[in-house]
Structures are given as C-alpha cells and as structure tokens.
Amino acid sequence: MDGESKDCSIPRSCSEVEVDLKRLDRMLQAAHRSSIEIKDSYDFYVLALKEFNKGNLAEAFLDYDRSRYELTAAINEAKIKIKGSRFHSMRTISYFFKLYGLYAVIFASLSVALFSALIYLYSDARVLGVPLWASFFAGLGSSAQILTGVADDLRRYGLASRYKRLWYMAIPILAMVFGYMAYLVFSSGVIAIDSSQSREFSIMFICFLTGFLTKWIIGRLSRMSRDI
C-alpha cells in the first residue's frame, strides 16, 4: 500500500487518535470488500479501540500503528508477483477505488459528459411544454455535487466517506425529476425576471442548482414524508 503509511509520531490529543481510528476503520472496510485478508490488521485495530476506550492513548496509538503496518503488508501481499516485482492486482485496484471514491469520480465525469452532450443535442426538445434542458441541467448539477463531495472528503479526511456505495448512481435520475419540476415552478411567473433572455438563463441556473442540491432535497422530502 504505497503512500498509505505515515510517520510514527505520538498523537497530541484524544481527538487525533479518534480521527485516526475512524480513518483506519474505513480503510479496513474497503480492504475487506476487496477480498484482502485483514485479520491481523483488524485484531490490532480492536486492541487499539479497547485501549482508546480505557484512555490509554499511547497504547492505543501503538496498536493503531501496528494495525496500519499489517494492513500495508496485506495489501502488498495481494499484489501480483512477476519476476520479483509486485504489481497491482484487481483486488488492490478495487481497494484504492473504494477508498478514494474513484468509482464515483468516474461515474460523475461520464455523467457530466453525457448531460453536456444532451444539452447540446436536444436543447429544443420538449415534453408537455417543458424543455428537456431543464432536466439535463439538473443532471449536470447533480454530477457536480458528486465530484464536489468526493473532492471535499479527500481534502478533509484523505479518503472518500460519502460516496462509497452505488446509491449515488440514483442521484442524477432524481435530479432530472427535480429539474423538470423546478422549471414548472419558476417558469410560471412566481419569480419576476425583467427580460425573457435573462429569465431563461436564470431558470437554467436554478435547474443546475436544484440538481446540485439533490441530496439536500432528498433529505428534506424524507423528513416531510415521516412527519405526514
């Protein structure tokens, strides 16, 4: 696991150890889902948790560091050996894709290309009087949301935490529905806009923003449905 190990240094606070353990937990989950043997690493992870709960930060950190070492060894062992050299296997590639959200990045990038092409090719197409670009701009916004979420995770935690499952593939579809409805709402004259040209560009932006906020909208609608 090139680049996964870090310099051994005693943590300054309890919160640092907690963050490290949470990060290690995600790493172990990604390795386990990629069929990498993590038993030795997991055993030391459990010991680190026990010491952390007892308040023994130094012991917890040592067990954590040993767990990271064992995980690195397990990932290196999962690589393919060819003439004395090690190369990434399907398991190790899968591990890094899961850990850093690369599946989501690839999907969102392809989604951006797809919706951009649809906007260009079918800008005049309409369904029940609603231009399809409204849904396509919302889909473009949802793709930007996925990329932004992964980038923010990598910046803050060094790994992906929000887009680890395939549920993110449903976001662009829901965004298209929300974009369609957003056009109906804002084109009805609820919001007054001076000129027709600025009105159209404003609705495009609103549809894009609606798609970008798809995850937030889903949360709001879920709470409303529970309260009904």
pLDDT band at 3 (very low <50, low <70, confident <90, very high): very low
pLDDT of 5 higher than 50: no
Domain edge (last residue) among 58, 79, 99: 99
Domain co-membership, 186 together with 161:
yes
Structural domain that includes position 79: 1-99
The DSSP secondary-structure symbol of 151 reads H
Pair (182, 147) in one structural domain: yes
Q: Are residues 43 and 112 in the same domain?
A: no
| pLDDT given for residue 159 in this prediction | 79
pLDDT at 193: 53
- Whether 136 and 149 share a structural domain: yes
Read off the pLDDT band of 12 (50, 70, 90).
Answer: low
Residues 85 and 130 in one domain: no
pLDDT band with cut points at 50, 70 and 90 for residue 211: very high
What share of the chain has pLDDT > 70, as a percent? 88
Q: Please count the structural domains in the chain.
A: 2
Residues 31 and 128 in one domain: no
4 three-class SS: coil
Q: How far apart, in whole angstroms, are the C-alpha atoms of residue 160 and residue 117? A: 28
Last residue of a domain, one of 99, 126, 161: 99
pLDDT value of position 199? 74
* pLDDT value at residue 117: 94
213: Cα separation from own chain's centroid: 15
Question: Which ranges of 122-212 does DSSP label H, i.e. alpha helix?
Answer: 133-157, 171-186, 196-212
pTM for the predicted model, two decimal places: 0.74
H helices, E strands: number in the chain: 9, 4
Q: Do 95 and 105 share a domain, yes or no? A: no
Overall size of the chain counted in residues: 228
pLDDT of residue 197: 56
Tokens of 148: 């932004």
DSSP 156-177: HHSS--SS-SGGGGGHHHHHHH
- Per-residue pLDDT of 152-203, as tens digits, reads 888 877 777 777 677 888 899 999 999 999 888 887 665 555 555 567 788 8
Of 85, 84, 214, 207, give the one whose Cα is nearest residue 148.
214
Tokens of 5: 């190990």
Encode pLDDT of 26-73 as tens digits: 899 888 988 999 999 999 999 999 988 888 888 888 899 899 999 999
Q: In sequence order, which residues have a C-beta less than 8 Å from that of residue 46 and are 6 or more positions away? A: none
Name the domain boundary from 41, 68, 99: 99
Q: For residue 154, what are the β-bridge partners?
A: none
